[in-house]
Structure 1
């Protein structure tokens, strides 16, 4: 193994991946200045946190059918999902208060109100967490990401296991050689853009790499939505979401759905130019954040023991070890 490449790190500590239409901390893009998530007012759900809460509630309200919660409706009903008054009744709160929540005029709803809304809207664990974050719990300033020496050694030690690390903006900030090879030339000389969401939505090649592209795309949008709620003042995140919304109709469509996703475990299929179509299990490990920083996520892939995928992955690992890619200078 040739070790771990650490992206655009120059000081050995802080990662900041900004390229394409996304620039420095001022968040300037080709379409003008973006001042944090608050400045991205053209994208529903990432403005003022209270407005973002309202947008999330509206999206979730539209997803719940009256029949699923025991309400009887007439044939001529044209409303998609629940009406405001129906949701307020199910949650046991006044219609006026709920309307003010959706309009961003009510701040700091109690834990009891949030729990009642979560139950009425049939939210899962990830959605409940996002609701609490938008209501004020867990929000923080724009963070930094630090790849520690221990984490670098951990990646180096994972011979035979593709692995890479992402921050809350889905920038790939560190990887091992096999991880770089698996996800498409992270080590390629001159490559500057290492953002998973930008790759999925702006690089047509991603659709041939991932047979279940729609699932991968929805995951990335859901993860960005969680980050947008948690870090409303992150100018780089705001610029990324604004850029993707402007350049990708698919991103806009998925973002409008209001889905939220937490990194977890599962199985993915991807197509490699040498190893062919691979079915790999993956696990994610969350690295807690130090004060003033953001936590990182380690993504590790493996193939079922004795499978053809394991044979193909082992062959790829052997080739990477013998003929490592040149390092970006």
Structure 2
């Protein structure tokens, strides 16, 4: 009954949790990941303000809810996908082009598999995550064996090495943040230390993407 009331009143996550707390229970009877939420304008603005950092927001379904222009330039194949298919894990494991982007593809792919297992355990009733796992089981040669390892990990920082056809090789530090106002969204930011070649290459890519006739991809913060 409380869940139906929350849906009827279009409560956000905070309001939903507060109502359930007042009722002496939790909001866990219905998986919030089933609802694909759009980014608030303020969060879209944060993404686009990062001119020298590639940033995107991931929702509870592990799909990319929005990304800035530099992220779309760095991962154009992902940015062009429909919202329901726009998953970094799905792209990494199923798109052959991902093997050319990630310098250490197997490590990147395994990281996504382990993160997916953690998300599946946290959201056992999320049908979209279950569907993604089923799709990877069917179409990724490596996924079944890696999934059977039963490894989980939750990394909020680390180093990613990738190759871009225009910018070249990049070593980027990533940080993952969770918005207090939007607990269902995780903000993933790739950046490079000042003065290193990777930052200059990111700057080149950002300038190229900002040119009207040379942009490889637009940001998807509005999608």
TM-score (normalised: structure 2): 0.76
Instruction: Look up the match of 1:299.
Output: 188
Instruction: Look up the match of 2:72.
Output: 180
| Correspondence for 2:98 among 196, 202, 206 | 206
Secondary structure at the residue paired with 2:171? strand
CA distance in structure 1 between the partners assigned to 2:145 and 2:28 by the alignment = 26
Q: 1:169 to 1:287 in 2, by over 3 A?
A: same
Q: Report the CA distance between 1:259 and its aligned residue.
A: 0.9
Q: Verify the 8 A CA contact 1:138 1:230 in the aligned structure 2.
A: no
Q: Report the CA distance between 1:233 and its aligned residue.
A: 1.2
CA distance in structure 2 between the partners assigned to 1:142 and 1:179 by the alignment = 29
Instruction: Look up the match of 1:317.
Output: 206
| Correspondence list, 1:237-248, <5 A | 237-248=129-140
| Correspondence list, 1:45-124, <5 A | none
Q: Report the CA distance between 1:138 and its aligned residue.
A: 9.8
Q: 1:258 to 1:298 in 2, by over 3 A?
A: same
CA distance in structure 1 between the partners assigned to 2:29 and 2:172 by the alignment = 34
Equivalences, count: 189
**Greater gyration radius:** 1
| Correspondence for 1:260 among 132, 146, 152 | 152
> After the TM superposition, which segments of 4 or more aligned residues of structure 1 sit over 6 Å from their partners?
none
Instruction: Look up the match of 2:8.
Output: none
CA shift digits 1:99-145 (9 cap, x unpaired)? xxxxxxxxxxxxxxxxxxxxxxxxxxxxxxxxxxxxxx996632133
Secondary structure at the residue paired with 1:173? strand
Q: Verify the 8 A CA contact 1:280 1:309 in the aligned structure 2.
A: yes
Instruction: Look up the match of 1:162.
Output: 54
Instruction: Look up the match of 2:20.
Output: none
Q: 1:161 to 1:215 in 2, by over 3 A?
A: same
Secondary structure at the residue paired with 1:249? coil
Q: Verify the 8 A CA contact 2:31 2:125 in the aligned structure 1.
A: yes
Q: Verify the 8 A CA contact 1:139 1:232 in the aligned structure 2.
A: no
Gaps of 5+ in 1: 1-13, 15-136
Secondary structure at the residue paired with 1:170? coil
Q: 1:139 to 1:251 in 2, by over 3 A?
A: farther
